[in-house]
Amino acid sequence: MPEQTSASLYELFDELDVRYWERLIKSGTNPNKEQLAALIEANAAKPLPAWLNPLILKGLKGELKGKPGRPKKSMLDDVRFEVAVAEYKRLLKALAVREEGSVKGAKKRARSTVIEPRHQRAAKMAIKSWGLRMDWRSLLNEISSKK
């Protein structure tokens, strides 16, 4: 009878460990083809368990697929987006005040000195500071669609 050793916390949550996938497969979650390839590659020197053979066959036949569509956003992504929206609104007001103050006393200069509209600059600054994976137009579209 093989010796049963207790798995460490790292082994329980390491996608390259066989015991991790054994636990997930028993609960009904199959790996996609990239995860299966990484598992086999990481454990190439060891004999693979028999319960993994049906999954390897599915992978070779092209029957293993990932979940279709874009992955769901996490709560952290939602919080970062909301904070970026608040910062965008703050920056938009600050840019308006700064531009208004610079034009008040002096003659109005030609518009050529302002390269981008202030809403675009504020959106770019908010995206950069919060590391959002979107462009400034997407941010403004999301803001307008949530009104």
Asked if the model's pLDDT at residue 84 lies above 90, the reply is: yes
- Residue 128 Cα distances to 53, 55, 123, 125, 140, angstroms: 46, 42, 9, 5, 14
**pLDDT in the model for residue 81:** 93
18-71 pLDDT, tens digit each = 888 888 888 888 888 888 888 889 888 988 889 888 888 888 888 877 667 777
Q: Name the residue among 33, 32, 5 with its Cα closest to residue 19.
A: 5
Helix 75-104 × helix 118-130 angle, to 10°: 140
Asked if the model's pLDDT at residue 15 lies above 90, the reply is: no
88-146 pLDDT, tens digit each = 999 999 998 888 776 555 555 555 555 889 999 999 999 999 988 899 999 999 999 98
CB 128 within 8 A of CB 91: no
